[in-house]
Structure formats: structure tokens, C-alpha cells
Amino acid sequence: MIAALNGNYIGTLNLPFKADHKDGYIDLVIVKDSGFPLVKEVIQTEKIKETGKHAANLEHYKVKSFTVHTVHPMKIDMDGEVYAVTPAVCGVKKGHISFIGAT
């Protein structure tokens, strides 16, 4: 599985790296193995953040864009919705979305 992220959480799950939604990069996470090995690494999230050493079952890259190729076309889930299929090129536009909020 791969996940393209622009924040420090997936739902309420705190991720084992620091992401900056303003840096113009996508945090690309490749999950190599799931099940108990992944659960163990999620439990050690704070230790991973402190040491800077990422988990054995996760690969983390900061990228401007990436391309996903699969043997057969596969649906791409974006925050619970399917908007695209593979192959696909994904990228980020720094400062592209403005938010209005109370201070």
C-alpha cells in the first residue's frame, strides 16, 4: 500500500514522522508489510520520531510528485472516495488552497 500525505495524522493515528503541510512536498509512505509488524511500529511512533529512524516496514519519502503504475488498472482511494485509476501522476501545489478560520 502507498499513502500520499500532507499532515501528521491519518484520522486520529499520529504518524511516525513530521510532515509540514506548507513545505510544498508530499509525504509518500510505502507500507511494505501489514499485520503485527505494522502494529508494532505504530506503537513505537514516538520513539521513531525521537530517533529519526523509520520503521522497517515503512518507507518514507518527501516528494514534489510521483507516478503510480500497476500491472492492471486499480482504483485510487482519496480520503474515502474514488476519483482516479492507475496509472496516475500525483503532485502538490504549494499554497494552492486557502482556508478561512477564526483566530
Instruction: Determine, yes or no, domain membership for 98.
Output: no
* Cβ neighbours for 103, distance < 8 A, ≥ 6 positions apart: none
Instruction: Determine, yes or no, domain membership for 101.
Output: no
Domain hosting 31: range is 2-91
Read off the pTM: 0.68
List per-block mean pLDDT (blocks of 10 residues) for the chain, which spans 103 residues.
Answer: 81 75 84 65 59 66 93 89 91 77 68
Instruction: Determine, yes or no, domain membership for 13.
Output: yes
Instruction: Determine, yes or no, domain membership for 50.
Output: yes
| Residue 42 DSSP one-character state | H
Residue type, 13: L
CATH number (domain holding residue 27): 2.60.200.40
Give the cell for residue 19.
510532515
